[in-house]
Structure 1
Amino acid sequence: MDLKSHIRGVPDYPKPGILFYDISPLLAHSDAWAVAMGRMARLIQETGVDFIVGIESRGFLMAAPLALKLGLGFAMVRKKGKLPGDVVRHSYDLEYGSDTVEIQADLVKPGQRVVVVDDLLATGGTMNAAIKLLRDVGADVRAAAFLIELDFLEGRKKLDVPVLSLLNYDK
């Protein structure tokens, strides 16, 4: 199945000059979504992972079904102030300003083999922050997995773990 035929390019969104890769048509097509999750699960399974972490918010749409399909636990990395209870946070710099990501303190165990999942790899900043956060809680981050990778932005260069991408775009 050609999964790219289920990804919609939306020009000038969210601002002029940006081509947004909309995964909504893929999610709306049950067979395409099932094929995408099956293919991603095979990629992830080869890492020896025992836990899946998803990045807010579209990463949750990939990570939760992958964890269920692989019979693994799942946790969320969210922006500051979105998770209840004790959290561990990591702040990082953006081109203009900074941001903070958090995870609940008791969900990922030291030494646990983790794959971090998001829908799209662009510049790699958020994924890099999530990896650092997970290492702060003792995780063994095995890979970063994405439905889509925008190769031309070279986000994988910011990551020091294997990058698993199902669909690649070079422009």
Structure 2
Amino acid sequence: MNLDRIIGKHPDFPKPGILFRDINPVFRNGEALKFIASEFSKRFAKTRYDATAGIEARGFIVATALAMKACKGTIMIRKVGKTPGATLKRSYDIEYGSATMELQVGAVKKGQKVLIADDLIATGGTAVAAAQLIEEMGGKVAGFGFVIELAGLKGADKLREMGYRVESLAVYD
């Protein structure tokens, strides 16, 4: 399946000069969702992992599709203030300031191998924060799966340089 034909393209959004890659048409397409789960299952077939983790919010969809295919559980890495109970938090820089992600204490067990999934990798700040949360809780990152990679922003390269395995289904410069 050619995801590029399904991924929406919106010129000059959110500002002039940006070509926004829209995952929403992919999520509305049942065959595309099935393809995503199957393709990531093939690419990570030899990788041992115990659970998937999705990064809020679109990553929840990708991680859940993968988890269902592999009969695994799903862990949610959320924006700050949305998770009940005790949490670990990790702040990171974004284009115009900072953001914070959190993970519920006990969501990851010591030694648990977690495959992190999201819809898109750009600069990598959110993905690095997600990995740090998993590891701080005693888990191990088994790899990353992204539907879209914006290669020119070098986030996936940053993850690879840190020693993580990264798989992306649609790569754009």
> Do both proteins adopt the same fold according to a TM-score greater than 0.5, normalized to the shorter chain?
yes
Give deviations 1:51-76, integer Å, cap 9, x for gaps. 10000111111011111111111111
Provide structure 2 residue ranges, at least 5 long, that are not aligned to the other structure.
Answer: none
Name the residue aligned to 1:137. Answer: 137
Q: Offset of 1:113 from its aligned partner?
A: 0.6
* Aligned counterparts of 1:46 and 1:8: Cα–Cα separation in 2: 32
Name the residue aligned to 2:151. Answer: 151
Provide structure 1 residue ranges, at least 5 long, that are not aligned to the other structure.
Answer: none
* Aligned counterparts of 1:32 and 1:169: Cα–Cα separation in 2: 18
Alignment root-mean-square deviation, CA: 1.3
* Aligned counterparts of 1:45 and 1:52: Cα–Cα separation in 2: 14
Q: Which amino acid aligns with 1:76?
A: M
Alignment coverage as a number of residue pairs: 170
Specify whether residues 96 and 28 from structure 1 end up closer, same or farther in structure 2 by C-alpha distance, changes over 3 A only. Answer: closer
* Aligned counterparts of 2:94 and 2:27: Cα–Cα separation in 1: 30
* Aligned counterparts of 1:69 and 1:151: Cα–Cα separation in 2: 27
Q: Which amino acid aligns with 2:145?
A: A
1:21 aligns with 2:21: yes
* Aligned counterparts of 1:114 and 1:94: Cα–Cα separation in 2: 24
Moved more, 20-29 or 94-103: 94-103
Q: Offset of 1:27 from its aligned partner?
A: 1.8
Alignment TM-score, normalising by the size of structure 2 = 0.92
Task: Report SS of the residue matched to 1:138.
Answer: coil
Q: Which amino acid aligns with 1:49?
A: Y
1:166 aligns with 2:169: yes
* 8 Å CA contact retained: 1:120, 1:146: yes
Alignment TM-score, normalising by the size of structure 1 = 0.93
Q: Offset of 1:95 from its aligned partner?
A: 4.3
* Aligned counterparts of 1:75 and 1:137: Cα–Cα separation in 2: 13
* 8 Å CA contact retained: 2:119, 2:147: yes
* Aligned counterparts of 1:154 and 1:19: Cα–Cα separation in 2: 17
* 8 Å CA contact retained: 2:33, 2:65: no
Give deviations 1:28-67, integer Å, cap 9, x for gaps. 2211221122112222333211110000111111011111
* Aligned counterparts of 1:46 and 1:15: Cα–Cα separation in 2: 41
Name the residue aligned to 1:112. Answer: 112
What percentage of residue pairs aligned between the two structures are identical? 45
1:6 aligns with 2:9: no
Name the residue aligned to 1:82. Answer: 82
Give deviations 1:83-126, integer Å, cap 9, x for gaps. 11111111223344222110110111011011111101111111
Q: Which amino acid aligns with 2:80?
A: K
1:66 aligns with 2:66: yes
Task: Report SS of the residue matched to 2:170.
Answer: strand
